[in-house]
Amino acid sequence: MSGLRERQKQERRALIAEAALSVFKSNGFAATTVESIANAAGVSPPTVVNYFGSKQGVLLALLQEPDYRAIQETSERVRDYTDPVDALCDLEMTITGNQIKAIPASLWREIIPLWLNGDADEVFRAWNDAVVEGSQSLLVHFRERGLLRKDLDLVFVARVVNDWANIAFVRLAAQDEPDMEAHGEYMRQAFTLLCEGIAEPAKVGGTRARKAVRAR
C-alpha cells in the first residue's frame, strides 16, 4: 500500500510540474501564481505548496529533472571513455540538450536574467549544485584511473566546468534556434583547454622540468 501511495504522490507531483510549465509558457514566470498553477493542475493551492513550497520550487524541479535524467543516462556510458574531455563533452551536451528540449527559448529569456541578477538565488544554486556533483563524480572516476592529477581539487574543477558551461548555455538558450553543433565545438575547446592547460610543455632537462619534478 505504501508503494501505491508513493507512486500516486509522484504522479501528482509530475502532473503539477507539467501544468506549471504550461502556465509559465503562456503567462511568463513573473505573472504566474501558485493559484494559477493549482487551477491548471486541478488541485488546490495548498497542494502545490505542499509538494513544491512555492512557484520557485516548481521551477527548480523543472530545471533539475532534465539534469538528473542526463546524469543517469550518461553515468555508465561516460565511464567507458579513456579521455576526460570526451566524457565531459558527452555529459554537458546531454544535460544541455535535455534543458533546451524541456524549456522553450521564450521562458529561458525570462528566467536567465533572474539567474544572472541573483534573484531566486536558492533555486539556481540548488540547480547548479546537482550538476557540479555529477561532474565531480565523473572527475573522481578519471582520477582513480590515473588520468587526472592526484592533487586536483575536484570540487573546484567541477565548479569551473559548471561555470564555463553556464556561460555558454546563456548564449545558447537566448537563440530562437539553438546551434547545438557550435555549442558542442566551443565546449570541446573549453574542456580541452581546462584539461591540457595553456603552458608550453617543459623541455626535458630544462629549469621548468626540474621545478616540475621537485613540485611532485
Q: Which amino acid is at 12?
A: R
State the Cα–Cα distance between residues 61 and 24, nearest whole angstrom. Answer: 13
Provide the 8-state DSSP code for 30. Answer: T
Closest-CA residue to 130 (of 158, 160, 94, 153): 158
Per-domain residue ranges of the chain:
1-53, 56-216
Sorted by sequence, the CB contacts under 8 Å of residue 17 that are 6+ apart come out as 52, 58, 61, 62, 65
**pTM value > 0.85:** no
- CATH topology for 56-216 is Tetracycline Repressor; domain 2 (1.10.357)
Rg (CA), the chain: 21
- Reply yes or no on domain 1-53 having CATH 1.10.10.60: yes
pLDDT tens, the chain, 216 aa long? 568 788 888 899 999 999 999 999 999 999 999 999 999 999 999 999 999 999 999 998 998 888 888 888 888 788 788 899 999 999 999 999 999 999 988 899 888 888 888 777 777 888 888 889 888 988 998 999 998 999 999 999 999 999 999 999 999 988 888 999 999 999 999 999 998 888 776 655 544 444 443 444
State the Cα–Cα distance between residues 99 and 142, nearest whole angstrom. Answer: 26
